[in-house]
Structure 1
Amino acid sequence: MFTATVTPSFGEVDGLGHINNTVLARWFEMARNPFFRIFEPNLNLSHDVWPLIMAHTDFNFVGELFFEFDVELRSYIEKIGTKSFTVYHEAWQEGRLCTYGRAVVVHYDFKAGVTTPIPEDKKAKLMEHMVPEGLAKD
């Protein structure tokens, strides 16, 4: 598991006084960086180097997030396939689970325009961060 703490900014608050739902996509994207570094330590986004592409994301909002308190992001690997892996994310505030979701990331060759198998050494590093059984929400 990787964790990150986010301090909400004033501009992320919606008209109801909650953190806007669209903000979670950005926060969870940032929280995936440690997984991306497994594949490209320098986060070099050159098509000659970068080997990943996003295939799917989803979010489930189960509690409001507020401006006044930091948010802890927890990120795990839920599934590793031949050519893709699924990241499971949670956002916690003041001891409450407020949002959870998933992102499917595909190993990709931009030059050839095709998906490619995840190298075994990368799979082994991803496996170090597997979500504990029974933790992930449906």
Structure 2
Amino acid sequence: MKEIKPETFKETLPIQIRFSDIDALGHINNNVYFSYFDLGKTTYFETVKGKSDISWTDGLIVVAHIEVDFLSPVYYREGIVVDSKVTRLGDKSGIFLQQIRNVKNGEIKCRCKSVFVTYDAHTQASIPIPDTWRKIISEHEGLEEEKVLAE
């Protein structure tokens, strides 16, 4: 089993497991985890946005790469949350770290690292992360300037 180092997350979203999420073995189907991670991303951006007038659609976010470690199955009726944070911002991309965690015992069930790219749908090209996004995410996560600007 892969060694998972503990991480601190500021954003946590409780997940309601649906009947359709369960496979024949009685646990959550692996492809369903991706919808949980998407919910976590949506909630993350809404939380970080706060009361500002920042628009997350001025420069769309697309997932360019995703890697997942499935550590332990999640069963129906198990209380779980998805934890989310941005760990790095480059010029045109950033890295999300997310995990599915059991709320009773803290066991990490699954960990996901995804690279997102800011993208202009009109030109169909990547664009620099808007300065307002960079500032608000960096302040929220406490990212250092060197880490933020590193690509």
TM-score > 0.5 by shorter chain:
yes
**Is 1:124 matched with 2:139?**
no
Cα distance in 1 for partners of 2:112, 2:86 equals 12
- Which residue of the other structure, out of 109, 123, 137, is the alignment partner of 1:112? 123
Q: Which residue of 2 aligns with 1:135?
A: none
Q: Secondary structure at 1:32's aligned position in 2?
A: helix
**CA distance in 2: counterparts of 1:72 and 1:90, whole angstroms:** 8
Specify every segment of 5 or more residues in structure 1 that has no aligned partner in the other structure, as ranges: 132-138
Say if 1:130 and 1:33 are closer, same or farther in 2 by CA, change over 3 A. farther
Unaligned runs of 5+ in 2: 1-9, 144-151
Distance 2:76 2:88 in 1: 32
Instruction: State the superposition RMSD in angstroms.
Output: 2.0
Number of corresponding residues: 125
* Residue 91 of structure 1, aligned match among 94, 100, 114: 100
Provide TM-score, normalisation by structure 2: 0.74
Contact 2:13–2:43 at 8 Å: present in 1 too? no
Task: Determine the C-alpha separation between the residues in 2 that align with 1:50 and 1:116.
Answer: 7
Structure 1 range deviating more: 53-62 or 19-28: 53-62
Q: What is the aligned counterpart of 1:21 among 10, 20, 30? A: 30
Rounded Cα–Cα distance in structure 1 between residues aligned with 2:112 and 2:79:
19
Moved over 3 A (4+): 34-39
**TM-score, structure 1 length as denominator?**
0.81
